[in-house]
Structure 1
Amino acid sequence: MLSDDVRDALFALERAMWAAATRYDPDFQETRFAQDFLEFGRSGWVYTRAQTILPEGAPIDATLTGLHARPLSLEHVQLVYDCAVRDADGVVRHAHRSSLWSRLGDRWVMRFHQATPYEPSDLGSPTHPPSSFPRRREPTGARGKAKDPGVPRPRERQLGQRRQAALDGVRPDRRWRARRRAA
């Protein structure tokens, strides 16, 4: 399990990523972003470590809520939270955020970060504790029995045929003609 000290230290590191004093401190960033760091930004853009380490910038007016730590192993922890960022025009942009932190020796580094935009009204409240995360339901057939995941459904079969036709270099609607000519 994750100790309270480790959890609190990771929360402090996550908050430091948003604070101008540390966000634009190259020494802090060099030691806190993993060499293979990758980010999927709220905008949909993908950022590498080199693009993320910024020597200067404007302060970020961000409010982090619902911070929750999910230990994935002894050396890896996922932090999930909601974030509201007020831009220079006063517009508030919301995002669900997730960061993967890895322990390297005696320090923690951020390996991955993702932001997914959302509107608070879509979900009823800006924060969602892990106990309220939607759970995936098992697919069921017409009689309520669990479907065999190994058996492709009709739509999957159709997509599989289209993929195979594309690999064969034949348009899907003409594939049957190509087979007929070959026979």
Structure 2
Amino acid sequence: MELSQQDRNLLERLEESLWREETRFDIALIKEIIAEDFIEFGKSGRIYHRSDALSISAQPIEAIIPLPDFEARLLAENVAQVTYNSAVTYRGVINRARRSSIWTRSPSPHGWILRFHQGTPY
């Protein structure tokens, strides 16, 4: 069982949309792609929920895109994991983290919804 190239490309675009200002702060889009039961273990160690993701104020995002070392694989028939390294500049300092997200196939307009995310600094 392998992820199709079409699904891999779609998951990469969806993940990148979370790192682009024009899509990250589009609340209608974020409501469509982040699951009701979403949880994130942030690189700070803090736990975030969907309500936290929806309440972030718009701000500049200086992330490297395409996402470095992006990989995607199926964990189960309708469950995919994506991994990549992020490099994001905050106040002139580049922060790097290893990232992992779990997406499930859904009838949503985007085909997948984000259930879980974790960032670990390196």
State the alpha-carbon separation in 1 of the partners of residues 54 and 35 from structure 2: 11
Deviation sequence 1:113-157 (CA, Å, 0-9, x none): 000000xxxxxxxxxxxxxxxxxxxxxxxxxxxxxxxxxxxxxxx
Letter in 2 for 1:113: H
Choose which of 92, 113, 117 in structure 2 pairs with 1:113: 117
Q: What TM-score does the superposition give when structure 1 sets the normalisation length?
A: 0.62
Letter in 2 for 1:20: E
Higher normalized helix content (fraction of residues): 1
Tell me the percent identity: 40
Aligned residue for 1:43, secondary structure, equals: coil
**1:92 aligned onto 2:94:** yes
State the alpha-carbon separation in 1 of the partners of residues 79 and 121 from structure 2: 25
Aligned residue for 2:114, secondary structure, equals: strand
Unmatched segments (≥5 aa) in structure 2:
none
| Greater RCO (CA < 8 Å, at least 6 residues apart) | 2
Q: Which one has the largest radius of gyration?
A: 1
After the TM superposition, which parts of structure 1 deviate over 3 Å for at least 4 consecutive aligned residues?
A: none
State the alpha-carbon separation in 2 of the partners of residues 47 and 84 from structure 1: 20
RMSD between aligned residues: 1.1
Instruction: State the partner residue of 1:17.
Output: 18
Unmatched segments (≥5 aa) in structure 1:
119-183
- Alignment check: 8 A CA contact 1:26 1:55 kept: no
Once structures 1 and 2 are overlaid, which stretch shifts more, 57-66 or 74-83?
57-66
Aligned residues: 117
Higher normalized strand content (fraction of residues): 2
State the alpha-carbon separation in 1 of the partners of residues 55 and 25 from structure 2: 6
